[in-house]
Structure 1
Amino acid sequence: MSDITGVAASQSTQYEQETQRQSLDGNNGLGQDAFFKLLITQLQNQDPLNPMEDRQFISQMAEFSSLEKTEKLYTLLEDKLSSNQVIDNSNLIGREITANVEGIELKGIVEAVKSSNDKVLAVLDTGSEIEINNITQVKNVEA
């Protein structure tokens, strides 16, 4: 019986080490490669007298598939949100804005609104790009 206990402890220890290694690599979420590495390690080190059942294997694959689809959906939602923020702020085009950036007051006429690195920026006629969050005043341009 002690051999079986030793194998189970070894399997648990290897699983924990692999999980810790993934965390140390800075990967907060387990990707497809990490999942398959863990699965292979788990299968290689399973107790031959008590092997993993098909139901467990299928359950793990289903969970991974669900997680992968959720990540894709999250990415699509992020892209949609970014697009919506650009559209929502497009009313600034042609208007004069004042913004406070690191204690410096900048003014200019907005020529475009764009999304870059998860931030929405107003592109001014001066060539400056200002984060929408830094705008302190919006005025109509007098003709």
Structure 2
Amino acid sequence: MATSINGLIAGLDDLSLSTKRTNATEDNQTKAGGDLGKDQFLQLLVTQMKNQDPLEPEKDSDFIAQLAQFSSLEQMQNLNETVQNSQAFGLVGKSVVINTTSTNGDVNEVKGVVDYITMSNGEAKMSVNGNLYPISDLAEVKDSYYAIQEFLPTVEKADCTYDKTNKSPITINLDMGQASYSASNVAVKLNGNFVDKSYLTYEKGKLSIWPGAMDSLGIGEYKVEFQFDDPYSTIVGDKVTLKVINSGVTNQDKE
């Protein structure tokens, strides 16, 4: 039976050395104060075998029991990794908070929307704000409409005036949204009718409505409605008021 145990020790020793070579550039998958990984479990078992009392060696049954525990540990870790990676794909499109640790130990908080999930060396990583982060850095997931409102298109509140005598475009500040919640187009409604896109220009967060879109409006006040083509089809109709007047005084008269 001694030959069997020696052979087992040699086999485990070789496996341990192989594991060390494979993970030469890693930290054995365990950080200070972290959980005991399967590599550490195996190393402890090998150390126990090497340092046992030759006069009172451990029983074969004890080693077999520990190997069974090791096998169970490995299966549980593999299952946990599979479940974790599967859940990671459900994060696409969700708002998340990520805590990253710099080389000097400072913790930085990153907020954004998960654009996609990619697999690297068996680990799922999230793409947020153009950067990749491991799932282990995930601190919070926000899945409600209210949690993602900060990423949706917005319109700045404004009271605009259009003078039929002195025709000038009106300009409104608006944000087309961020990441996967952003819009690529916006439609404008005046007095219940859509404004022809030829009368709209957008540049650097400013939307201009040109006079041709307002010439047919009578004197009075109107609500301006904005309809975005973001994933939530955001509609904003309570931020901008347009007052149409006819002063009868030209710019030349003012001068």
TM normalised by structure 2 equals 0.31
Correspondences of 1:126-137 after superposition (within 5 Å) = 126-129=130-133, 131=135, 133-137=138-142
1:77 matches 2:89: no
Structure 1 or 2, whichever has the larger Rg, is 2
1:42 matches 2:42: no
Q: Post-superposition shift, 1:87? A: 0.8
Q: Post-superposition shift, 1:63? A: 0.9
Correspondences of 1:1-143 after superposition (within 5 Å) = 30-38=44-52, 41-43=53-55, 60-93=59-92, 95-101=93-99, 102=107, 104-112=109-117, 121-124=125-128, 126-129=130-133, 131=135, 133-138=138-143, 139=148, 141=181, 142-143=230-231
1:100–1:69: structure 2 CA closer, same or farther, 3 Å change rule?
closer
For 1:42, what is the secondary structure of its paired residue? Answer: coil
Structure 1 ranges of 4+ moved more than 2 A: 27-30, 100-106, 113-117, 119-125, 130-133, 135-143
Matched residue type, 2:112: K
- What is the root-mean-square deviation in Å for CA atoms of aligned residues? 3.5
Distance 2:126 2:87 in 1: 12
- Over the matched positions of the two proteins, sequence identity in percent amounts to 6
CA contact (8 A) 2:125 2:132 kept: no
Deviations 1:118-141 (A, max 9, x none): x86433351231546413424574
TM normalised by structure 1 equals 0.50
For 1:128, what is the secondary structure of its paired residue? Answer: strand
Distance 2:84 2:97 in 1: 18
CA contact (8 A) 1:121 1:130 kept: yes
For 2:49, what is the secondary structure of its paired residue? Answer: helix
Q: Post-superposition shift, 1:85? A: 1.4
Tell which has more relative contact order, 1 or 2 (C-alpha 8 A, sep 6+): 1
1:115–1:61: structure 2 CA closer, same or farther, 3 Å change rule?
farther
Point out where structure 1 has 5 or more consecutive residues left out of the alignment: 1-26, 44-51
CA contact (8 A) 2:116 2:127 kept: yes
* Residue-pair matches, total: 100
Distance 1:79 1:130 in 2: 17
CA contact (8 A) 2:113 2:129 kept: yes
For 1:31, what is the secondary structure of its paired residue? Answer: helix
Matched residue type, 2:62: E
Matched residue type, 1:78: Q
